[in-house]
Amino acid sequence: MKPKPRFNQKINLTIQRLGIYGEGVGYWHGYTVFVEGALPGEVIQARLCERKKAYGRAATLSCSRLSPHRVLPSCPLFGRCGGCQIMHLDYNEQLVLKRQRVIDSLERIGKLKGIEVLPCLPSPSSLHYRNKIQLPVVPSENGLKIGLYARNSHDLVEMEKCFIHAPLGEKVLERLLPLLKASSVTAYDPKTGSGELRYLLIKSALSTNQAMVILVTKGAPSRELCAFAHALKETCGEVRGVVRNENESADNTVLGSSYQLLVGEGAIEERLLGLSFKVSPASFFQVNPLQAEVLYKQALSLADLQGDETLLDAYCGVGALSLLMAQRAGKVLGIDCVSQAIADAKNNAQNNQICNVEFACGLAEEFIPTLRSLDVALLNPPRRGCDSSLLQRLSELAPRRILYISCDPATLARDLAFLNERGFSIDTVQPFDMFPQTAHVETLVCLDRDFVQSRVTL
């Protein structure tokens, strides 16, 4: 019988790989141990600080062999703030390990052997790339604190600068912080129910130099909050508008469903690959727009559209890929469950004078049964992946090609296995580093139908 370490026991480990949250993974007599901050190839002595039946967590006590890829993090808050997980790893090695994570998921979860995974494409910028930041606001003895939560906790790490946030957003943050701290706006305290401000979000449109600030509050906006919003708009010309979001939930959900414009305009405009896109507070838009352009160009190339196809863009958001595909397809159908995103998508189609696209609000798995034929499908689901009923109906419609964009290799592998069993071969697997300095990896997969005969059930 293999031994298992005791709680608080000192153990020696060789770190074999990175876990899905960027932690080092080692094995002690076959028992899996996660060690935050440890890198593959490092030999460490650690103390077990959490022991479960199948795995444990340990803290490094000493390191007898360092990884040759370990580097000094750019951010002085690295290790305390939970925003970045692998800033201490050389960027080229980040790309290597992200590709390996996709390979491991395909083989272990999808049971897909022998699939070629291309090298992970680097981001045009490994720092200062994010066009969005969301910061919790908590009460303090001196009024309020703004920052990011430490990893796996609700301990706030106060910060005034983020090294992966875009320069425009950082400029807004730099102007915003002193104004907010000098104001009479109070932070919401869940223990007492007093105060109002829970989170602040900054969205930036890098190509147009426009920004939007979203203030998430408990209850109606106070005079002080409205005064702060107007002061920020006057102080920072890049801020097109300040919007309040009302969030009454008691859980960790950041945004509620109700929005109110406090000052200025309720949306910003971003441009990608020659098209302009309206981005509202509730709408999803890729957080790394420069890398998004690289990904979208590849998706357009792999789609290989001839001009007469019907294309479905499931989870279409504000319609960025829908409109880009519509320039080369016969007809595009976009579906998303966020009503504001669909409103933006329709507005974007009109503004870009693209007429061969239709957008609908609803769940993709409820929309796809209404279709009777389809040539190309584009899937870009949230982290949980696609509903099995959507994939089943898609396999019945039997489009000639499926493009799957995923932000989670595990659910991607599960869904690819489902489609592969139903007659779709995996042609291209291309990882993209959409989120440098973090453990996340984006992947574009192209699948082709193995046979021409349609199996659609009318």
Asked if residue 279 lies in contact with residue 268, where contact means CB atoms within 8 angstroms, the answer is yes
| Residue 83 φ/ψ, nearest 5 degrees | -70, -45
Active site residue 407: yes
Asked if residue 413 lies in contact with residue 106, where contact means CB atoms within 8 angstroms, the answer is yes
Planar angle of CA 397, 403, 404, nearest 5 degrees: 105
Asked if residue 195 lies in contact with residue 187, where contact means CB atoms within 8 angstroms, the answer is yes
Three-state DSSP at 86 gives coil
Cα–Cα distance between 8 and 21 in angstroms, integer? 23
Place of tokens 């803290």: 59
Catalytic residue among 49, 63, 407, 446: 407
Place of tokens 């969005």: 132
| Residue 304 φ/ψ, nearest 5 degrees | 50, 50
DSSP 383: T
Cα–Cα distance between 100 and 427 in angstroms, integer? 18
DSSP β-bridge partners for residue 447:
402, 426
Three-state DSSP at 149 gives strand
**Ramachandran class of 337: left when φ > 0, alpha when ψ lies in -120 to 50, beta otherwise:** alpha
**Cα 271 from chain centroid?**
19
Q: Tokens representing 456? A: 């659609």
Nearest of 315, 311, 292, 299 to residue 381 by alpha carbon: 315
Cα–Cα distance between 372 and 374 in angstroms, integer? 7
Nearest of 141, 142, 176, 152 to residue 162 by alpha carbon: 176
Asked if residue 181 lies in contact with residue 127, where contact means CB atoms within 8 angstroms, the answer is no
Asked if residue 345 lies in contact with residue 335, where contact means CB atoms within 8 angstroms, the answer is no
Cα–Cα distance between 145 and 135 in angstroms, integer? 10
Place of tokens 């479960």: 52
Packing angle of the helix pair 223-235, 167-182 (nearest 10 deg) = 140
Q: For the chain, percent helix, then strand, then coil, each to nearest 5?
A: 25, 35, 40
State the alpha helices, DSSP H only, in 19-127. 91-108
Positions marked catalytic: 407
